[in-house]
Structure 1
C-alpha cells in the first residue's frame, strides 16, 4: 500500500479504458495518489488535463496518533462482533469525541443484514501495517514537476490539510 503502487493502479485503469485528457480529483489520501499520478514518469502526455487536490499536501511525516487510534478503534469494532452502527459508534467514542468525525469514519462500514457483525469495507490489517507509508510522499520537493492546471482546496474547518486555497495554472 504505497502511493506509487496506487498511482500505477490509476494509470493502468485509465489505459485499460482508453481515457485521455482527464480531470483527476483526489481527496486526502486520494489527493496524494492524484499528485503521485501527475508526477509519475510513466504518465502519458495526453492523459492528465487538470489536477484537483482536496485537503492534503505533498508532504512527508508520521501519521498522527489520532489517525492510528482510528485504525485501532475500527479493528476493535470488528473484533467485538457488534451488529449495529449504534454499537460501533459507542466503541468509537473513546477514540474520537466529535460525532461528525465518528459518523464519517463509520461510512466505511459495509452494508450488513440482520444480526451479522458489522465489517469495514477497507482492509484494516493492511492499513494498520501501512501507517508509516501513508504519511510518506514518493517525491522530494522539486524532484518532479507537473506543469498542468492545478487546484488545491482546503476546507476551512479541516484539521487534516496544510495548505490554503490555491489556483495555479503553471
Structure 2
C-alpha cells in the first residue's frame, strides 16, 4: 500500500494548466539523466533512452537505468512519455505522436545517431494474443519500434523488452482499470486504502494495483486524484492498437535486441518470424521471467543489455 505521506501534491497551475496542451506536434518530455561516471569517456556520445509503458513513468526504470549508466559508462535518460508522469497532457495518444515526441527529445538534447532506445511495456499481459495480416502491435516498446521504423538514421539500435510487432488487442482488464480509476477520482477520497479497495473490485493482484496507484496525487485539500489524464487515456485505448507500418514497406536495417520473458505470452514463438521481417538484424534473448522482466530479473536483463551493446564496439 502507498503510504499517505508519500503521495505527491498537486496544484491547479502545476498540473491542470502547466501540463495540458492542445497543440499539434511534439511535446517536451520530462526526463531524468543518469550521467556517465567518467564524462570524458568516448562512450559519452552513445546515450541510452529508457521508456516506460502504459500507466507508468520514468520512476519505474530508475534503478536499472542508474546501474546501466554505471556499468556501461554511458549517459542514460529515463523519459516520461506524454500523458504520463510529469510530461504534458494532450488529447492525442498513439504511437505516431509518441514517436514524434521522442524524436523531438533527441533533437532538442543534441543526442546523435549512436543513441540506443530501450522500451518496455509495464502492462499486465492479456491471456492470449491475436495475429492477423495487418501485423498491428500495441503498447510499451512499440514507441521505440515506431521511432526505429520512422527515423532509422537518428538511432543506432533498439532494445524491446517483452513485446513484439504483432496485433494484441488491449485486454478487457484495461477498461476495468480505467472505470475504477475514474470512480476513485469522482469519489472525493482522501484515503489510499479506499482507493485500493475500488481497484480491488477489478484487479485481485496487489502488485498491479500498487503499480496503478503510483499515479495518485493529493490536492491541497487532501483529495486524491490521478496525475495522468484518465479520461484521455480511456478514449485513446483503441488507438493503442493502431500501428502505421507493414514489414513489406518499412524495415529497421540496424541491430535490435528483443528480450523475452519465457513465462510471459507477449512474444510467442509465432511472433519471431514477424519480428525478423520488421527487424532483420534482430537478436532474441530469453530470460526465465514473466512479463515484468526488468524487475523480476534485473541482473540478467542488465547482462543481456551490456552484452548486446558491447558487441557494437
TM above 0.5, yes or no, is: yes
Which is greater in Rg? 2
Match of 2:145 in 1: 35
Aligned length: 164
Distance (Å, rounded) in 1 between the aligned partners of 2:101 and 2:233: 17
Distance (Å, rounded) in 2 between the aligned partners of 1:156 and 1:76: 35
**8 Å CA contact retained: 1:59, 1:136:** no
* Uncovered stretches (5+) of structure 2, i.e. residues with no partner: 1-92, 122-138, 270-282, 286-307
TM-score by length of 1: 0.85
* 1:69 matched to 2:161: no
**8 Å CA contact retained: 1:55, 1:162:** yes
Residue 161 (structure 2) aligned to one of 40, 51, 54:
54
1:22 to partner: Cα distance: 0.9
Residue 200 (structure 2) aligned to one of 86, 93, 96:
93
Match of 1:135 in 2: 241
1:59 to partner: Cα distance: 2.2
TM-score by length of 2: 0.48
Partner SS, residue 169 of structure 2: coil
Partner SS, residue 25 of structure 1: strand
* Uncovered stretches (5+) of structure 1, i.e. residues with no partner: none
* 1:166 matched to 2:284: yes
* 1:123 matched to 2:123: no
Change (3 A) 1:62 1:30: closer
1:62 to partner: Cα distance: 2.8
Partner SS, residue 223 of structure 2: coil
1:163 to partner: Cα distance: 4.3
**8 Å CA contact retained: 1:39, 1:145:** yes
Change (3 A) 1:152 1:9: same
Partner SS, residue 119 of structure 1: strand
1:76 to partner: Cα distance: 1.1
Match of 1:18 in 2: 110
Change (3 A) 1:70 1:166: same
1:82 to partner: Cα distance: 1.3
Partner SS, residue 152 of structure 1: strand
Change (3 A) 1:125 1:106: same
Distance (Å, rounded) in 2 between the aligned partners of 1:141 and 1:153: 20
Distance (Å, rounded) in 1 between the aligned partners of 2:260 and 2:192: 29
**8 Å CA contact retained: 1:56, 1:163:** no
